[in-house]
Structure 1
Amino acid sequence: MGIIDVQNLNKTYANKLVLNNLSLSLGSGQIVGLLGPNGCGKSTLIKILAGVISDYDGNVFIDGQTPGIYTKSIVSYLPEKTYLSKWMRPVDAVAYFSDFYADFDKVKAMDMIQQFRLDPMQPTKNMSKGMQEKLQLSLVMSRRSKVLILDEPLGGVDPATRSAILDMILRNYLEESILIMATHLVQDVERIFNYAILLGYGELILAGETDDIRREYGKSLDEIFREVFACSISL
């Protein structure tokens, strides 16, 4: 059993099947790309792993436990949407996380905030979307968690900033953890993944070590991604 095990997972919204009999197993020490177009079920899967969604069919285990109080203590989750209160400044957010999470490294968080050149006294309501994403990433990456889950962390930033954020993730990722990043920006981020999951409208299309996938298909992950979903759109 891996650190994450999903068995025959099904999830329906208003009679629409969003995840269809999904099964996968992931071990620690990996940076995993959860890849797929918008609306394919990536965020739903992530919310189930994070313990945000509990009404599903099938089995989900994180460190041998079903999602709940324990798993939330070992999962550091970055949602796609901004979740900090508008009045919060970085110093307030760091204090909040420090009080709330026993595994939070306050010094590391402030260091990342400084590296991102964020003003620790600026309210989030006065920040751009990209600045807010940098702040939230700094908070999430500063937990010493067994599982880190990032849902589209690069959607609101320009390509140059994406590269800087990826480098920051690599420098602060704990090798004994597993990091899962959901994204549809495959070309920009595939360099950091050593394992990839390609999800297509609720179904598992492809999963494996990225080097093995590239060798088997003779293509980059981005090229495979584009071909798979260009075909699905044309159909």
Structure 2
Amino acid sequence: MIGFQEVTKQFGSTRALDQATMVFPKGKITGFLGPNGSGKSTSLKMIAGLNRPDSGSVLIDGHRPSVETKKDIAYLPEIDHLYPWMTIGEAADFTKSFYEDWDHNKYMELMDFLQLEPSMPIKKISKGMRAKAKLLLTFSRDAKIVLLDEPLSGIDILTREQIIQTIIRDYRAGEQSIIISTHEIQEIEGLIDEVIFMDRGRAVLQGEAEILRSERNKSLVELMKEVYHHGNF
């Protein structure tokens, strides 16, 4: 389980997180939803150990993020972090040198499934191909926790479908925790177990997706509109 307890984070005059308290259950897919600037990316970076809270606590199975917890986390950032002078195969070799949980068989299967080639130069492939390459490097590991920051942003519909299929294909229910940060909820509504809605640095609504849909008699898309347009949460 990953827990945030009254976490605040300030960047200059911008308060990215404002006493945020939330729980990401273990072994489930959590939709981490909200508009841009609501604190989602900052939260994922804290889980990944890249940012520290100014106040409050972030705990992963009872431990603060550290070198030890990083070994269990695969983090796909929103920014394009691939080195353009590498091929996909060279990027894979570079990535696997850092992680003991790299699974070569899974890498080869995903390479084929995503229709990529190790010899493809990163600087010459399309944005959709780069998105798939980032996903390839993330899911070629057997990480216990997978953090996906806006994995569908700016991607064509066919690539989005492949990305979603990859998430479903490799998910180990009950064993692996996946957190998908996005403001584009419609494509992922059918695959998430839990949901957390963020607004202005706080978790304003969270719970099991099916229970929230049933209680409110709304889809998550409709519920998101209600939360952000009317503040009715």
TM-score range, shorter chain: over 0.9
Partners in 2 of 1:55 and 1:196 — Cα distance?
22
Is contact 1:194–1:209 with CA below 8 Å preserved after alignment? yes
Of the structure 1 ranges 152-161 and 31-40, higher mean CA displacement relative to structure 2 is found in 152-161
Of the structure 1 ranges 15-24 and 218-227, higher mean CA displacement relative to structure 2 is found in 15-24
Partners in 2 of 1:110 and 1:82 — Cα distance?
22
Partners in 2 of 1:187 and 1:27 — Cα distance?
22
Compute the displacement of 1:47 (Å).
0.7
SS at match of 2:26: coil
After superposition, residues 136-215 of structure 1 pair within 5 angstroms as 136-175=134-173, 176-215=175-214
Residue of structure 1 equivalent to 2:120: 122
Compute the displacement of 1:138 (Å).
1.1
What percentage of aligned pairs have identical amino acids? 38
Once the two structures are superposed, residues 158-182 of structure 1 have per-residue CA deviations (whole angstroms, 9 ceiling, x without a partner) of 1232122111111111220100000
Which of 24, 49, 70 is residue 26 of structure 1 equivalent to?
Answer: 24
Partners in 1 of 2:15 and 2:184 — Cα distance?
24
Which of 48, 51, 70 is residue 50 of structure 1 equivalent to?
Answer: 48
Once the two structures are superposed, residues 121-169 of structure 1 have per-residue CA deviations (whole angstroms, 9 ceiling, x without a partner) of 1111111111111011111112111111000011131123212211111
SS at match of 1:100: coil
Residue of structure 1 equivalent to 2:217: 218
Partners in 2 of 1:229 and 1:118 — Cα distance?
39
Q: Do structure 1's residue 73 and structure 2's residue 71 form an aligned pair? A: yes
Which of 89, 92, 95 is residue 94 of structure 1 equivalent to?
Answer: 92
**Unpaired runs of at least 5, structure 1:** none
Is contact 1:159–1:188 with CA below 8 Å preserved after alignment? no
Is contact 1:98–1:106 with CA below 8 Å preserved after alignment? no
Regions of 4+ moved over 3 Å: none
SS at match of 2:188: helix
Of the structure 1 ranges 76-85 and 108-117, higher mean CA displacement relative to structure 2 is found in 108-117
Question: What TM-score do you get using the length of structure 1 for normalisation?
Answer: 0.94
Of the structure 1 ranges 19-28 and 36-45, higher mean CA displacement relative to structure 2 is found in 19-28
Partners in 1 of 2:186 and 2:217 — Cα distance?
16
**Unpaired runs of at least 5, structure 2:** none
* RMSD across aligned positions (CA): 1.3
SS at match of 1:108: helix
Which of 106, 109, 127 is residue 108 of structure 1 equivalent to?
Answer: 106
Compute the displacement of 1:119 (Å).
2.5
SS at match of 2:131: helix
Amino acid at match of 2:60: I
Compute the displacement of 1:227 (Å).
2.4
Once the two structures are superposed, residues 197-225 of structure 1 have per-residue CA deviations (whole angstroms, 9 ceiling, x without a partner) of 00011111110000000001100001111
Of the structure 1 ranges 89-98 and 192-201, higher mean CA displacement relative to structure 2 is found in 89-98
Which of 3, 14, 17 is residue 5 of structure 1 equivalent to?
Answer: 3
Compute the displacement of 1:52 (Å).
0.9
Once the two structures are superposed, residues 61-94 of structure 1 have per-residue CA deviations (whole angstroms, 9 ceiling, x without a partner) of 1122111101111111000011111111111122
Question: What TM-score do you get using the length of structure 2 for normalisation?
Answer: 0.94
